[in-house]
Amino acid sequence: MFGFLKKKKSASLAKDRLTIAIMSDRDRTNGYPFMDEMKAEIIKVVQKYVGVKGVEIRKEIDGDMEALAIDVELDKNI
């Protein structure tokens, strides 16, 4: 009679899974709204000294610690 209590209904499972998946998507994709601008400025600064091919910025979250990982790919031809 109380069989329905044992098994979690799939809709609530979907809600839990979606909440977590979307939270991590938002962290990864949105990061900060100023990412593009910051990228352009970093390129400008580094280019004063050495050729730059591109810049990658990632927001990394590890437990309570948040960090910005900035990779600057150099252009060897310049």
Q: Which of 3, 6, 15, 54 binds other proteins (CB under 8 A)?
A: 15
- Residue count at the site for other proteins (CB under 8 A)? 16
Question: How distant, in Å, are the alpha carbons of 8, 18, 44, 45, 47 from that of 78?
Answer: 61, 46, 14, 15, 10
**42: which residues sit within 8 A by CB, 6+ positions away?**
55, 57, 70, 72
Q: Shortest Cβ distance from residue 28 to other proteins (Å)?
A: 10
Q: Does 26 bind other proteins (CB under 8 A)?
A: yes
Q: Give residues in contact with other proteins (CB under 8 A).
A: 9-12, 14-15, 17-19, 21-22, 25-26, 29-30, 33
